[in-house]
Amino acid sequence: MKRLLRSFSFRLAILYTALFSTLTCLLTGAGMWVFGGTLLLGLSGGWLMSRAIGGRLEVIVHAARSVMNGDLSGRVPVRGGGDDFDRLNETLNLMLSRIEAQFDTARRLSDNAAHELRAPLARLVGRLEALEQETRGNPAMRIAVDEAIAQANRLRRIVAALLRISRLEGGRQILNVQRSDVVQMLEDAVEFYQPEAERAGIALSLHVRRPLIADLDLDLVFQALSNLLDNALKYAGAGACVTVTASREADVLRIAVSDNGPGLPADETDRATEQFFRGSAATENTGEGLGLSMVAAITQAHGAAIALTPNEPGLRAEMRFPAGMTPPAAGHGGGGVDVERAGERAGPGM
Amino acid sequence: MHVLLVEDDRALADHITSGLREAGHIAEHCGDGREGLIRATCETFDAIILDRMLPSLDGLKLLAALRATDNATPVLILSALGDVEQRVQGLRAGGDDYMTKPFAMSELLARVECLGRRSGHITESSSSLRVGDLEIDLVAHTVTRAGARMELTLRELRIVAYLARNAGRVVTRSMLLENVWDYNFDPQTNIIDQHISKLRQKIAGEGRSQLIHTVRGVGYVMRDA
């Protein structure tokens, strides 16, 4: 009986040992699985999470960029789940709305101010002109009145230019874009300024190759070109050369006015397109400081850019019109016609 | 000239009517759009100066209504709305000229006088123009003085032709700019003066009399003597 009991307990011990080892083995395996699974879950979850967060941050960055680039109406989309991101986005949107409203107010204010100035200015000029009639017999008085009229006219030009710039910048001027012969426009501009260049002792010339066709608002681009030529002739100095060039490279149309005059100090180049900025070379009679801001507004309205770079010596002002403004070159056989003219020439038609 | 002014700004209207009267014209004023239309259709004027933003009837609607009755009285639109598109809109509606406020009285007078003449008897289609001994052949594009041919650029020919068409009347710098150059732009300096001075040298060279005279503070006039 005692033997039987011993053998039983021995078997039991073996069984137990076997059971225990199997269990340990099983448990170790399961532990490995659990660990692996958790690791995998954790990693993939983290990756998914960071992707989701990254995506939502990307949306915010995108909206901020579009606002930075001038589209003040850009907003961050709100999902409506009420989570932390939504709260953040709602706050950001509120901030953007406020910025937009303030921008609008500032723009409207300067626009309205300029607009409201017109009527009293018209009356002022009127009264001064009436006064001029009455002071015919008094030369000293008449000179004073003439000076007042000249200043009122200057004010009138400033107001007109400000309104024009403000309309262009606010995108409220509809561009009259037409397929245009750029060379013809450049010839007309150079011809227009040729007598003034001769008077100032400056050699004005045009270097361009036909054909050069682009989709532009001709009146506006002519205005920009006129302002650039005006500046060049004012500041280049007697004996200088002013050159107008235009070319199309990789669908970018470049129109440049370069001179070999004294140029612009580096610290003034960046600020030159600011409204009312007048460089150190400006004098009482050189202008209102709006010419280059007008050029900047006109190019911007065309989706183009203006670049002022040293010409060593002198200044090079280049307008760069992006692809899309320029249609694919018309099928012209062989090389174009070189146009290189200075001096006498006339435009078309009577 | 008998001129109707439709303008609701009282002070400005007074200034314009007195300016017109001083220049020897008969000026009548009316400050309301609808009343302006009635007067313009019932009476005969040599020219109408028309504001755009008017009480009761907008200036352009007035103009359209006037033109719809086959009334061809020359109309100068005088407005604070000075965009290129707004100008085009005004001219399409039947306006003959467009001026932006604020303006100089001398400019307005010059334009009104040229407008009044446009409706007159001189035919625009004539192929040659003559002022004194200066003759312009608009077909052959030649200019001769006392029979001697002058070498002018095409642009100079256009300037001479515009001045000759308005001979005896003052032409302002902006009128020249609008009519001789094909771009709607605003040069910052008086480039026109340089063109005129070059042209003068050609026309009056070799001891011949000057035909283009400066009118101080206003512009130029072409006149024999």
Complex ipTM value: 0.82
Is the pLDDT score of B120 beyond 70?
no
Which of the four pLDDT bands, split at 50, 70 and 90, describes residue A247?
Answer: very high
Q: What is the CA radius of gyration of chain B?
A: 19
CA distance B5 to B51: 8
Comparing alpha-carbon positions, the chain A residue that sits nearest to B11 is A123
Judge: B185–A125 Cβ closer than 8 Å, yes or no: no
Output the DSSP codes for A148-162. Answer: HHHHHHHHHHHHHHH
Is the pLDDT score of A348 beyond 60?
no
What percent of chain A shows pLDDT beyond 90?
A: 24
Judge: A222–B185 Cβ closer than 8 Å, yes or no: yes
Query: Which of A130, A199, A350 has the CB atom closest to B138's CB atom?
Result: A350
Set of chain A residues whose Cβ sits within 8 Å of the Cβ of B180: none
Q: Give the pLDDT score at B125.
A: 58
CA distance A111 to A134: 35
Judge: B15–A199 Cβ closer than 8 Å, yes or no: no
Set of chain A residues whose Cβ sits within 8 Å of the Cβ of B20: none
Are β-strands B97-100 and B75-79 bridged in parallel, bridged antiparallel, or unpaired?
A: parallel
For residue A329, give the DSSP letter: P
Structure tokens at A287: 């202008």
Comparing alpha-carbon positions, the chain B residue that sits nearest to A160 is B82
Strands, E assignment, chain A = 178-181, 203-210, 213-216, 241-249, 252-259, 305-310, 315-321, 337-342
Mean pLDDT of chain A: 81
Query: Which of A122, A218, A230 has the CB atom closest to B102's CB atom?
Result: A122
Judge: B11–A123 Cβ closer than 8 Å, yes or no: yes
Angle between helices B59-68 and B33-42 (to 10 degrees): 20
Q: Give the pLDDT score at A286.
A: 60
- Residue recorded with tokens 């039991």: A12
Q: Which residue has the higher pLDDT, A345 or A114?
A: A114
Question: How many C-alpha atoms does B46 have within 13 Å on its Cβ side?
Answer: 17
Q: Which of A25-29, A155-159, B117-121 has the lowest mean pLDDT?
A: B117-121
Query: How do residues A155-186 score in pLDDT, each as one tens digit?
Result: 888 888 888 888 888 777 788 888 999 999 99
Q: Give the pLDDT score at A349.
A: 37
A64 to chain B nearest CA, in Å?
Answer: 33
Q: What are the phi and psi torsion angles at A113 (to 5°)?
A: -60, -50
Tell me the mean pLDDT in the region A342-349: 38
Output the DSSP codes for B53-115. Answer: S-SSS-HHHHHHHHHHTT----EEEEES---HHHHHHHHHTT-SEEEESS--HHHHHHHHHHH
Q: Give the pLDDT score at B109.
A: 92
CA distance A232 to A308: 12
Pseudo-torsion of CA B123, B125, B131, B133, nearest 10°? Answer: -130
Q: Which residues of B touch A (CB under 8 A)?
A: 9, 11-12, 15-16, 18-19, 22, 80, 82-85, 100-106, 138, 141, 153-158, 161, 181-189, 191, 194-195, 197-198, 217
A332 to chain B nearest CA, in Å?
Answer: 27
Is the pLDDT score of A224 beyond 90?
yes
Bridge partners, residue A188, by sequence: none
Q: Which of A93-97, A113-117, B197-201 has the highest mean pLDDT?
A: B197-201
Is the pLDDT score of B148 beyond 50?
yes
Is the pLDDT score of A1 beyond 70?
no
Question: Which of A345, A346, A342, A314 is closest to A204 using CA atoms?
Answer: A342
Q: Are B133 and B145 in contact (CB under 8 A)?
A: yes
A335 to chain B nearest CA, in Å?
Answer: 28
Set of chain A residues whose Cβ sits within 8 Å of the Cβ of B100: 160
Set of chain B residues whose Cβ sits within 8 Å of the Cβ of A161: 186
Cis peptide before A313 (omega within 30 of 0): yes
Judge: B22–A133 Cβ closer than 8 Å, yes or no: yes
Q: Give the pLDDT score at B87.
A: 86
Set of chain A residues whose Cβ sits within 8 Å of the Cβ of B102: 118-119, 121-125, 156
Q: Are B143 and B208 in contact (CB under 8 A)?
A: no
Set of chain A residues whose Cβ sits within 8 Å of the Cβ of B189: 196, 230, 234
Is the pLDDT score of A342 beyond 60?
no
Judge: B155–A347 Cβ closer than 8 Å, yes or no: yes
Query: How do residues A201-218 score in pLDDT, each as one tens digit?
Result: 999 999 999 889 999 999
Query: Which of B83, B141, B185 has the CB atom closest to A350's CB atom?
Result: B141
Q: What are the phi and psi torsion angles at A330 (to 5°)?
A: -65, 150
Q: Are B31 and B46 in contact (CB under 8 A)?
A: no
